[in-house]
């Protein structure tokens, strides 16, 4: 029997499940982001579209957010959710906050990407600056959701690290 099975987090299957979900999401977002990048570089029509100025840049913004907020952040979250309880030898402060963080971050990220791309495509194909601006504002609203999720994550990790119990 390993020492880990005697630790407070070892028997919390729900916590383990969500920690792994952050890693699985990281893998999915990396595949999407890397494929998207390869398509932008490898398909001439796609490359011309994203090189078309401000509206094309918005499609690139969607790509960068999938990579940064999806691939990179989700990997960091999963790693820190795994490491911190082991370092401080305490279970996570709030499993509920872990769940809220996971779902809020993913919803926010998907909204950011969809609306950034909608803004770019609306500008490129419809030439509608007003609609494109509205889509960017919606993307910003979803970005605020990601920010709030990250604040929740930071709070949960801080409370876990300080050992203040509920």
Q: Is the pLDDT of residue 149 over 80?
A: yes
Widest Cα–Cα separation across the chain: 65
The pLDDT tens digits for 53-68 are 889 999 999 999 999 9
The parent domain of residue 119 ranges over 3-162
Identify the pLDDT of residue 36: 95
Distances (CA, A) of 158 to 114, 165, 166: 32, 11, 13
Tokens (6 digits) for 68: 């940064």
User: In residues, how long is the chain?
Assistant: 166
CB 123 within 8 A of CB 129: yes
For the residues 38-62, what does the mean pLDDT come to?
Answer: 90
Nearest to 57 by CA among 158, 157, 136, 138: 136
Nearest to 101 by CA among 69, 149, 145, 146: 149
pLDDT bucket at 1, cuts 50 / 70 / 90 = very low
Rounded to the nearest 5°, which phi and psi values hold at 52?
Answer: -85, 15
Rg of the chain in Å (alpha carbons): 19
pLDDT bucket at 4, cuts 50 / 70 / 90 = low
- Say how many domains are in the chain: 1
The pLDDT tens digits for 92-109 are 999 999 999 999 999 999
């Amino acid at each position: 029997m390993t020492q880990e099975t005697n630790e407070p987090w070892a028997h919390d299957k729900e916590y383990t499940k969500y920690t792994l979900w952050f890693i699985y999401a990281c893998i999915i977002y990396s595949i999407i982001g890397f494929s998207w990048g390869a398509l932008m570089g490898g398909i001439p029509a796609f490359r011309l579209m994203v090189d078309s100025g401000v509206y094309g840049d918005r499609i690139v913004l969607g790509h960068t957010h999938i990579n940064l907020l999806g691939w990179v952040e989700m990997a960091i979250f999963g790693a820190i959710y795994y490491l911190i309880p082991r370092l401080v030898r305490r279970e996570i402060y709030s499993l509920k906050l872990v769940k809220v963080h996971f779902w809020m971050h993913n919803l926010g990220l998907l909204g950011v990407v969809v609306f950034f791309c909608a803004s770019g495509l609306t500008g490129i194909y419809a030439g509608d600056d007003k609609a494109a601006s509205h889509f960017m504002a919606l993307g910003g609203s979803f970005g605020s959701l990601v920010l709030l999720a990250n604040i929740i994550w930071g709070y949960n990790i801080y409370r876990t690290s300080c050992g203040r119990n509920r």
